[in-house]
């Protein structure tokens, strides 16, 4: 297992648990949560709430570093999940008991361990798995959007 990413993936599990606790106890009409590059958001039946990593860390009662690690790992999984599941088409994926569970429309599931996620991050590390890399990527996406507008 790639030791380099163990603490990041461990923090990812901690933050996912904090999110689940937060939305189940504080959000009445919760629908889903997700992250997009450096932002975390919660959607409800009536509204959508977007937070930067500092705001999210505060509401979830985790450290800013843990929140940064969460965003990095979430981005890796969101962009490179096929590195674990191949050509399959996932319906959903989530962390449960420190395992990544990927569900498919035929009701089957694949389960991956923390070591698998660390391996995926190691295989894709040329992308740059630091928070600074995410900030840079987000700025590039914003520039591209401006040019397309």
pLDDT of amino acid 1: 47
Return per-residue pLDDT of the chain as tens, 149 residues.
468 899 999 999 999 999 999 999 999 899 999 999 999 999 999 999 999 999 999 999 999 999 999 999 999 999 999 999 999 999 999 999 899 999 999 999 999 999 999 999 999 999 899 999 999 988 988 888 888 86
Model-level pTM? 0.93
Residues whose CB is less than 8 angstroms from the CB of residue 34 and which lie 6 or more positions away in sequence, other chains included: 40, 41, 43
Residues whose CB is less than 8 angstroms from the CB of residue 45 and which lie 6 or more positions away in sequence, other chains included: 29, 31
pLDDT of amino acid 2: 61
Task: Give the relative orientation of helices 6-26 and 114-123 as an angle to the nearest 10 degrees.
Answer: 120
Length of the chain: 149
Maximal CA-CA distance, the chain: 44
pLDDT of amino acid 40: 96
pLDDT of amino acid 101: 97
pLDDT of amino acid 117: 97
Convert 108-138 to b/e letters by CB count within 10 Å (16 or more is b): eebebebebbbbbbeeeeeeebebeebeebe
Tokens of residue 86, six digits = 């191949």
What residues does each domain of the chain span? Answer: 3-148
Q: Is 40 helix (H, G, I), strand (E, B) or coil?
A: strand
The CA distance from 28 to 25, in Å, is 8
The CA distance from 24 to 47, in Å, is 16
């Amino acid at each position: 297992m790639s030791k380099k990413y163990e603490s990041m993936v461990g923090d990812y599990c901690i933050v996912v648990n904090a999110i689940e606790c937060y939305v189940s106890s504080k959000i009445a009409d919760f629908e889903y949560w997700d992250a997009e590059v450096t932002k975390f958001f919660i959607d409800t039946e009536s509204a959508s709430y977007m937070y930067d990593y500092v705001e999210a860390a505060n509401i979830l009662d985790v450290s800013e570093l843990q929140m940064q690690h969460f965003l990095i790992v979430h981005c890796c999984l969101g962009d490179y999940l096929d590195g674990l599941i191949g050509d399959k088409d996932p319906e959903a994926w989530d962390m449960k008991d420190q395992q990544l569970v990927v569900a498919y429309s035929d009701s089957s599931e694949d389960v991956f361990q923390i070591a698998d996620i660390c391996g995926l991050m190691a295989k894709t590390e040329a992308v740059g798995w630091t928070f600074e890399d995410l900030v840079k990527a987000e700025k590039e996406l914003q520039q591209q959007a401006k040019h397309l507008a």
